[in-house]
Amino acid sequence: MSSTTKKSSFIKSIFQAPPFRWTKKLLGKIGFSGRGLVIAVPTIWLLVFFLIPFLVIAKISLSEALIARPPYSSLLEWDSDGLLQISLNFGNYYYLIDDALYIIAYLNSFKIATISTIFCLLIGYPIAYYIAKSPENKRNILLMLIILPFWTSFLLRVYSWIGFFKANGIINAALLNLGIISEPLIMLQTDFAVYVGIVYTYLPFMILPLYSNLVKLDDILLEASADLGGRPMISFFKITLPLSVPGIIAGSMLVLIPAVGEFVIPALLGGPDTLMIGRVLWDEFFSNRDWPVASAVSIIMLVVLILPVMWIQNKQNSNLGES
Amino acid sequence: MKYIKLLSAVAVFVASAAYAEENVVNIYNWSDYVAEDTIKNFEKSTGIKVVYDVFDSNELLESKMLSGSSGYDVVVPSFQFMARQIQAGVFLKIDKPLLTNYKNLDKNIMSILEGNDPGNAYGVPYMMFTTGIGYNIEKVKERISEDKIGSWDMIFDPETSSKLADCGITLLDAPTEIMAAALNYLGKDPTTENVEDLKAAMELTLSIRKNIRYFHSSQYINDLANGDICVSVGYSGDIFQARDRAAEAKQGVNVTYVIPKEGAQVGFDMMAIPDDAPHKENAHKFINYILEGKVAADISNYVFYANPNTAANEFVAKEVLNNPGIYPPEDVKKKLFALQPKSSRYDRTLTRAWTKIKTGQ
């Protein structure tokens, strides 16, 4: 007891040393506290890399497309009398409601992302569970194996699937040689290939949060359940699964959100009829050169994605409050 | 005041040192569009280091131009896209006195190009291409009758294309070019902005949609060469490259290119200098180098695109010069048409129609 008080008083005395006191005073004068400084780093991060880009996109979404550089009108204009004119164009948002294409594309992206997330969960959960239950010295190697693919370029890994799936690719060649099929299967440029690509790419994002949740699970709970006559299946569904819900939610969000906006995987592996919002965005931006509508599409996507995340966050917080 | 002077002197010194050190030129050109040794030879003869990036769609290049500060010194948009980019004011006027080889350019072609680039102020033609059909000779002969081969029927006639569907038909992912081909097949003006005509072309393409394996603007080169697909609507030179790759691989795949008898699009890819190019002088040197007859001929011999260079003809290989798919004879030339830039409103309708064709939505 006495040693800890000594230690803490020692640390305290460091912070009361003149350089610290003066800095603190100085920062206090311009309205900073130590706590504020710590929070400032993530705040600035979010401001610079999230809020400001978001506002820029929001601004463009309210302008009009032009043949110019940059290819959109400016919202603020000084007219000849020195008056500041603000012109907002909500037509881009109206346009998105007017044509069913956009809604269908949003829904289809959501469908593909949701199904991929479910598959990631079904495949990722046993893997995460196995790693969490492995002896400690093995865990790091197993985790390493999960992270290892990240050392290769993402694009290259998606490309390699083309080699597997194409008509004279590895899978077809193997099946043909074994005599299982007589005509090559068409796998590339199908929704199937897109699902495989997304599940494969995002699986680590499911496994890692699940693992970090499951590894904290106290084995005593399972022992207690077994002592009370609970068979392994019952113990899993009554104890392990409910306790791992935060991991499931975190993993699912990490997979679902980027998968909805995915462009590269459907572009490389998907067929031309794989309609996802990323593709629509590309068309607006590149083929129509309509940056305002493209911005409106991405603003809507952000809003649609952020609302459920906020709802879940809220729910989790209130759950924490209860327990 | 003294400090400011000193500071600005230092700044000027640093800037000029950086400028002198950076004797490079940044090129943004189409993929598979230059001879193997063009860049190496240019570097050797001028001492300028080349940073060479490639793209496979005009749209991608255009958005880079419209965002500005792309960092490129020479870009190669197709003619109808360049026309619109000129309107947006993204290019520098070519300083013609710097181009000692400018006189080599074919006068007839230059006058055609003046239509959308008055005085040829901004663009220097790089290569010419046609958008036609490349196909696997044996596999197509097995499936359809002789008289259909070399006609747009291979694509747009539902009965004919359904016979070819199993071995794979691909289209360029380029709405302007495919819709122009469809309009031409229907006997309509391919340069039209008539929405009703576009609708008819869309319906036609939708009727053969189920026979199309995929839409892509560069993948078909390899796939055609490997025998993964049979028929591609593609750029002339790309298909000749597929032909050569197939011949090299010796897998029994024989590819050829045809300008369909109903006519096809002729296009020009133009060298232009972005107005914010960091190395404007080197950009001119590069363009001038390409305009040398021997250099242009070497590129044509390698990529199988015709060049607009009169001084090149003596260096172009006989089999390239006499190939009707590369240098079309006069009677074929009459059936070729060039695309014009369209209004933004029409382009939006076109993109929408294209999405409908690709996705059914």
Instruction: Flag whether residue A12 sits within 8 Å of chain B, measured between CB atoms.
Output: no
**Nearest chain A Cα distance for residue B21, angstroms:** 30
- Looking at the whole model, is its pTM more than 0.80? no
CA B286 to chain centre: 19
User: What pLDDT is recorded for position B120?
Assistant: 94
In a domain, B320, yes or no: no
Cβ distance of B66 and A289 shorter than 8 Å: yes
Q: Same structural domain for residues B220 and B345?
A: yes
Place of tokens 């074929």: B332
Domain-by-domain residue ranges, chain A? 99-289
Could you tell me the pLDDT band of residue A1, with boundaries at 50, 70 and 90?
A: very low
Please state, in angstroms and as integers, the Cα–Cα distance from residue A215 to each residue in A138, A171, A224, A251, following that order: 13, 36, 18, 15
Q: Same structural domain for residues B54 and B183?
A: no
Q: Same structural domain for residues B164 and B182?
A: yes
**Beta-strand pair B49-55/B24-30:** parallel
Q: Same structural domain for residues B113 and B203?
A: no
User: What pLDDT is recorded for position B1?
Assistant: 46
Q: Same structural domain for residues B199 and B347?
A: yes
Contact residues, chain B, for A167 at CB < 8 Å: 168, 228
The domain total for chain B is: 2
Using the predicted structure, report yes or no on whether residue A50 has a pLDDT greater than 60.
yes
Q: Same structural domain for residues B59 and B197?
A: no
Report d(CA B135, CA B140) in Å as an integer. 7
- For the stretch A296-305, pLDDT in tens is 999 998 888 8
Q: Same structural domain for residues B146 and B235?
A: yes
Residue A214 structure tokens: 């499951």
Percent of chain A with pLDDT over 90: 43
- Give me the tens of pLDDT residue by residue for chain B, a chain 361 residues long: 455 555 555 555 444 444 555 799 999 999 989 999 999 999 999 999 999 999 988 988 998 999 888 999 999 999 989 998 999 999 999 999 999 999 999 998 998 898 889 999 999 999 999 999 999 999 999 999 999 999 999 999 999 999 999 989 999 999 999 999 999 999 999 988 999 999 999 999 999 999 998 898 888 999 999 998 999 999 999 999 999 999 999 989 999 999 999 999 999 999 999 999 999 999 999 999 999 999 999 999 999 999 999 999 999 999 999 999 999 998 898 899 988 888 888 988 999 999 999 988 7
Among B67, B355, B356, pick the best mutation site for testing chain A contact (most A Cβ within 10 A). B355
User: What pLDDT is recorded for position A91?
Assistant: 86
Nearest to A150, CA basis, from A208, A204, A113: A204
- For the stretch A248-280, pLDDT in tens is 999 999 999 999 989 999 988 988 888 899 989
What sections of chain A are H helices per DSSP?
Answer: 2-15, 18-29, 34-46, 52-61, 91-98, 100-133, 136-147, 154-165, 170-177, 191-214, 219-227, 232-235, 241-243, 245-260, 264-269, 277-282, 291-322
Q: Same structural domain for residues B137 and B75?
A: no
Using the predicted structure, report yes or no on whether residue A131 has a pLDDT greater than 90.
yes
In a domain, B19, yes or no: yes
**Beta-strand pair B212-215/B231-235:** unpaired
Which of B65, B175, B361 minimises the CB distance to A104?
A: B361
User: What pLDDT is recorded for position A80?
Assistant: 74
Lowest mean pLDDT among A9-13, A140-144, A215-219, A255-259: A9-13
Q: What is the mean pLDDT of chain A?
A: 86
Q: Which helix (H) or strand (E) holds B55?
A: strand B49-55
Lowest mean pLDDT among A69-78, A146-155, B200-209: A69-78
Please say whether the dihedral angle defined by the alpha carbons of residues B319, B325, B331 and B337, taken in this order, is positive or negative. negative
Q: Is the peptide bond before B341 cis (omega within 30 degrees of 0)?
A: no
Cβ distance of B214 and A101 shorter than 8 Å: no
Backbone torsion region of residue B129, taken as left when φ is above 0, otherwise alpha when ψ lies between -120 and 50, otherwise beta: beta
Nearest to B193, CA basis, from B353, B357, B343, B354: B343
User: What pLDDT is recorded for position A186?
Assistant: 83
Q: Same structural domain for residues B143 and B186?
A: yes
In a domain, B299, yes or no: no
Cβ distance of A287 and B347 shorter than 8 Å: yes
In a domain, B227, yes or no: yes
Q: Which range marks the domain in which residue B138 is found? A: 129-266+338-359
Cβ distance of A167 and B228 shorter than 8 Å: yes
How large is the average pLDDT for residues A128-149? 93
Beta bridge partner(s), residue A82: none
Residue of chain B with shortest Cα separation from A95: B348
Among B348, B350, B352, B357, pick the best mutation site for testing chain A contact (most A Cβ within 10 A). B348
CATH number at residue B45: 3.40.190.10
Residue of chain A with shortest Cα separation from B81: A287
CA B241 to chain centre: 14
Q: Same structural domain for residues B93 and B15?
A: yes
Can you name the CATH fold of A99-289? Answer: MetI-like fold (1.10.3720)
Q: Same structural domain for residues B244 and B156?
A: yes
Q: Same structural domain for residues B251 and B186?
A: yes
Contact residues, chain A, for B358 at CB < 8 Å: 272-273
User: What pLDDT is recorded for position A65?
Assistant: 85
How large is the average pLDDT for residues A204-212? 95
